[in-house]
Amino acid sequence: MLRLVDRYLLRELLLAFGAVTAVLLVVVVGGTLSVTLDRIARGVMPASLLLSQIGLRSVDALPLLLPLGLFVAILLAYGRLYRDSEMAVLSASGYTSLDMLRPVALLAVPLTIVLALLSFWLGPAAIRESDARVDAANRSLLVIGMEAGRFVELRGREGVVYVGRMSADGSSFGRLFVHEERGGRVDITTAERGELFQERAGGERYLTLHDGFRVEGTPGDPDYRLMRFERNDIRLTEQQADPNRRLEKRASTAELLESDQPLQRAELHWRLGLPLSTLLLALLAVPLARAQPREPRYAKVLLALVVYVLYSNLLGIGRGWLADGSVPLAAGLWWLHGGVLALTLLMLRASGRLKAPREVRA
């Protein structure tokens, strides 16, 4: 049974955590929306995948968003109590610094479990589902804007394409006409039927044409070449490679556990560090939240951002060191977590120690 004070502090933490997380989620969704709209404009994916891509990519961002939300929420909630002298009243009533950790643990421990599920299972699964939907969409002519009975410009190339009929899923077509210009030469291709295929996942796309003709030549020059083909492949747009498309990030946790490659093991330590860092940041926020009665309300928020950015960047640097072999795999990222834990315990001990009164001379 929770004490009245614990319920009050927990309510303050939940309100602050909900507000901070909502703001951070809006920022993340806005960034994801911008990237997704850019991919749609470049023809990498259809507009019908907009909402699903935003949702799936946002799930992948939650393991980085929630620890920051909890860290800032504790600073704001406990900082207000210090500024309003409520903590002084609680301290005078026998509420110690260790007692302040109880409401934090009631919020941080369930959140850590949720983050573990996101980091080890839901996050990688969301990325794989996102890639699968985009790859499936890239096997449809609807992605490049082709419609039956309409001329469509070939993106990145001087030419147009026309199809007389198309299947409902956009994977096959009939009665095709393609007109291209290359260095002053004109290429005209017709085909009775065909389909779209992708060379590899995220690679180049081709139109496979069957039973058609191809005419090549220079306008005004009678030297034209006519060919009849049974099959002909025409390359469409060249898709830009995703610089953030890391295979180890998309691997399941079971695959990472079975692998002995440095990249996979580094990714495993990274996933383990995300929920662990949540607990450490929650503990670190308690001594950092101490404030003076007249101190500005958001004075510690900037410090919180600096601490979080420093910690997260060190985790990223440590993952890079593990991947390239600079740090032994057995050490993992425990050296960083251990250092943060030692610093946190020292700050908690210092915050709980009362200052000795100064001697007053007679």
Per-residue pLDDT of the chain (362 residues; tens, 9 = 90+): 567 888 888 999 999 999 999 999 999 898 888 888 887 777 667 777 888 888 888 888 888 889 999 999 998 888 888 887 787 787 777 777 777 888 999 999 999 999 999 989 988 888 888 888 877 776 666 555 667 778 877 665 677 888 888 877 677 788 888 888 877 788 888 888 888 776 655 556 677 888 888 888 888 777 788 888 888 887 765 555 454 556 667 788 888 888 888 888 888 888 888 899 999 999 988 888 887 766 666 667 777 788 888 988 898 898 888 888 888 888 888 888 998 899 888 888 876 554 444 554 54
DSSP tag of 196 = E
> Which is nearest to 274 in space by CA: 295, 253, 292?
253
Phi-psi region of 299 (alpha: psi -120 to 50; beta: other; left: phi over 0): alpha
Q: How many CB atoms lie within 10 A of CB 243?
A: 6
Residue 135 · residue 201 · CB < 8 Å: yes
pTM for the whole structure: 0.74
**Single-letter code of the amino acid located at 71:** F
Q: Pairing mode, if any, of strands 185-198 and 172-182? A: antiparallel
Contact 147, 166 (CB under 8 A): yes
Residue 190's nearest CA partner among 204, 202, 203, 175 is: 175
Residues in Cβ contact with 163 at an 8 Å cutoff, skipping those fewer than 6 apart: 141, 146, 147, 148, 149, 173, 174, 175, 176, 177
